[in-house]
Amino acid sequence: MASGHEFEFEGAATPAEAADALTRIADGIRARSLSLSMGDEEITVFPDNDLSLEIEASEKKGKAKIEIAIAWKHGGRDAEDDE
């Protein structure tokens, strides 16, 4: 993947839609190739090697929130693609 590509989504979803999106992300991580797209925005990342996983959950004043962050450093794939 070339550096500098970004994808961001924020919007409303039903619990089933949110679960489906998380399942697709999990499937992409397992396959080591994860594509995200909306309209003309698209990014494909290749989660390889060990992943850093952060999960934060909070509940305040009747609102709950879960934040999930997954990060990794690229292994051999980028070095091979850049040649």
Tokens of 71: 């990060």
DSSP structure string for 19-77: HHHHHHHHHHHHHT-EEEEETTEEEEE---SPPEEEEEEEEETTEEEEEEEEE----HH
Q: In this predicted structure, what is the pLDDT of residue 8?
A: 87
User: What number is the average pLDDT over the span 48-72?
Assistant: 95
Q: In this predicted structure, what is the pLDDT of residue 75?
A: 74
pTM: predicted TM-score of the whole model, two decimal places: 0.76
pLDDT in tens, 6-59: 888 899 999 999 999 999 999 999 999 999 988 888 899 999 889 999 999 999
Per DSSP, the three-state class of 14 is: coil
Q: At residue 19, what is the residue type?
A: A
Q: In this predicted structure, what is the pLDDT of residue 3?
A: 55
Domain boundaries, the chain: 15-82
